[in-house]
Amino acid sequence: MVNRCIGIDPELPHARQTRTLHRMSTPAAITLLAWDRLLGAGARALRIARAELRRAGLPPLEWYDILAALERRGASRPRDLQRVVGIEQYNLSRLLTRMEAAGLVDMTHCPEDGRGQIVALTEAGAAQRAAMWPAYAGAIHGAIETRLGPDERIQLAGMLDKVAPTPAQ
Amino acid sequence: MVNRCIGIDPELPHARQTRTLHRMSTPAAITLLAWDRLLGAGARALRIARAELRRAGLPPLEWYDILAALERRGASRPRDLQRVVGIEQYNLSRLLTRMEAAGLVDMTHCPEDGRGQIVALTEAGAAQRAAMWPAYAGAIHGAIETRLGPDERIQLAGMLDKVAPTPAQ
DNA sequence: GCGGGGTCGATGCACCTGCATCAAGCGCGT
DNA sequence: ACGCGCTTGATGCAGGTGCATCGACCCCGC
């Protein structure tokens, strides 16, 4: 899972107690606060989403991303999927093995590249993705929509993209 | 580790292609974008920080948080640490076992509560935390300071706190 | 046509994590 | 004093993850 991280600057042992951001906060303290909350918020949100899926007896979160990516992009090669969903190569490899065993995807040899595979969504895979959506959407809704106004969402997305740019589809 | 997540709304299969946020983006698409980037940015940042520590031959990231929390709060009980660093109970328990074996913390029985433990930082622990700081700080700096202006950092921290409020110290 | 460097995907191994559960201890009401 | 429900922290087990590495293959220059 993911973990929550708290940094303290040796020079500023109580940096994090700055709950309200008044203008005397030093830049370093604010950086740490932002870092801390970035990881903290992400971890929390993830935890909730995972719990939601699990309670509904659905597959893990990562499967959704892969299924969704396949639905959007059509059959793809693992190395492309990897970039899109941001999963490590060895990890994606095993994930796909499991998903194939579960009948959600179909793997065939790539005709143009003897090393490659081609991953295709099966009907069961598409159905599974659809089945996962309500639970997943619930978690997303709870994390974002009930807490941020429309403008804030745009700002948040914009700033996060600067922090770690989304790779091209 | 942590994973990057992409949501697609069945009604909006190409939601994520909205790279620039123009005003025709539907609210749902923006929510997904924000969610996606929240997890993506967090995961990326984490990955970089972990790699930085590992390359320097230092202990894992979580250790830093625990060491830092102990330094800030003084000797604490696990159940309190748990809330502060946001680690699951069973996980913290094992983490502390390893850290004690490494000589970074000291565990003693809590006199007021027969069930409890008291975790204290050793000198080696404080030294280790200090040794980890430069590598960790480098990652934080690279993720936040080189990418966001001072105002943006404040905004980001504020919005993230709404998404998943930081628990009290 | 051949060799070398690079890419693709799989896998052995050690470790970490999540879940369920447990034993021990607290504290309250009676 | 006793019992009951709750909290604290540990742990067995199954499964996921990270790392290093491997074999197969592509492509380019010669």
The pLDDT score that the predictor gives to residue A27 is 75
Which range is least confidently modeled, B68-72, B86-90, B146-150?
B146-150
Minimum-distance nucleotide, CA of A80 to C1': C8
Helix (H, G, I), strand (E, B) or coil at B117: strand
Q: What is the distance in angstroms between the Cα of B7 and the nearest Cα belonging to chain A?
A: 7
The pLDDT score that the predictor gives to residue A23 is 52
- Spatial separation of the C-alpha atoms in residues A95 and A90, rounded to whole Å: 9
What are the sequence ranges of the domains in chain B?
61-130
Nearest to A34 among B35, B43, B157 (CB): B157
Q: Residue B14: is its pLDDT beyond 80?
A: no
* Per-residue flag: A114 CB under 7 A of strand C: no
Q: What angle do the packed helices A61-73 and A27-55 form, to 10 degrees?
A: 90
**Distance in angstroms: CA A91, C1' C5:** 25
CATH architecture classification, B61-130: Orthogonal Bundle (1.10)
List the structure tokens of A1: 């899972």
pLDDT in tens, B15-43: 444 445 555 567 778 888 899 889 988 99
DSSP chain A: --------BTTBTTGGG--S--TTS-HHHHHHHHHHHHHHHHHHHHHHHHHHHHHTTPPPHHHHHHHHHHHHH-SB-HHHHHHHHT--HHHHHHHHHHHHHTTSEEEEE-SS-TT-EEEEE-HHHHHHHHHHHHHHHHHHIIIIITTS-HHHHHHHHHHHHHHSPPPP-
B80-117 residues labelled b (16+ CB within 10 A) or e (exposed): ebbebbbbeeeebeebbeebbeeebbbeeeeeeeeeeb
pLDDT band at A110 (very low <50, low <70, confident <90, very high): very high
pLDDT in tens, B55-70: 889 999 999 999 999 9
Set of chain B residues whose Cβ sits within 8 Å of the Cβ of A34:
144, 148, 153-154, 156-157, 160
Q: What is the distance in angstroms between the Cα of A91 and the nearest Cα belonging to chain B?
A: 10
Contact at CB, A160 and B19, closer than 8 angstroms: no
The pLDDT score that the predictor gives to residue B167 is 66
Highest averaged pLDDT of the listed ranges A29-33, A154-158, B79-83, B162-166: B79-83
The pLDDT score that the predictor gives to residue B161 is 85
How, if at all, do strands B117-121 and B105-109 pair? antiparallel
The pLDDT score that the predictor gives to residue A21 is 53
Per the prediction, chain B carries an average pLDDT of: 84
Nearest to B39 among A31, A33, A42 (CB): A42
The pLDDT score that the predictor gives to residue A25 is 67
pLDDT band at B12 (very low <50, low <70, confident <90, very high): very low
Interface test mutation site (partner B, options A16, A39, A53, max chain B beta carbons within 10 A): A39
Q: Residue A158: is its pLDDT beyond 70?
A: yes
pLDDT in tens, B108-137: 999 999 999 999 999 999 999 999 999 999
Contact at CB, A5 and B163, closer than 8 angstroms: no
**Which residue in the block uniquely carries the two structure tokens 């998404």?**
B163
The pLDDT score that the predictor gives to residue B163 is 82
* Interval A68-82 mean pLDDT: 96
Contact at CB, B87 and A4, closer than 8 angstroms: yes
Higher pLDDT among residues A165 and B8, named by residue = A165
**Distance in angstroms: CA B69, C1' D8:** 20
Q: Residue A22: is its pLDDT beyond 60?
A: no
Do the Cβ atoms of B151 and B159 come closer than 8 Å?
Answer: no
**Distance in angstroms: CA A102, C1' D12:** 28
Q: Residue B1: is its pLDDT beyond 50?
A: no
Interface test mutation site (partner A, options B133, B140, B145, max chain A beta carbons within 10 A): B140
Q: Residue B50: is its pLDDT beyond 60?
A: yes
State how far the alpha carbon of B97 is from the alpha carbons of B1, B63, B102, B131, in Å: 21, 12, 9, 21
Q: What would the CATH number be for the domain defined by A58-169?
A: 1.10.10.10
Question: What percentage of chain A exceeds 90 in pLDDT?
Answer: 51
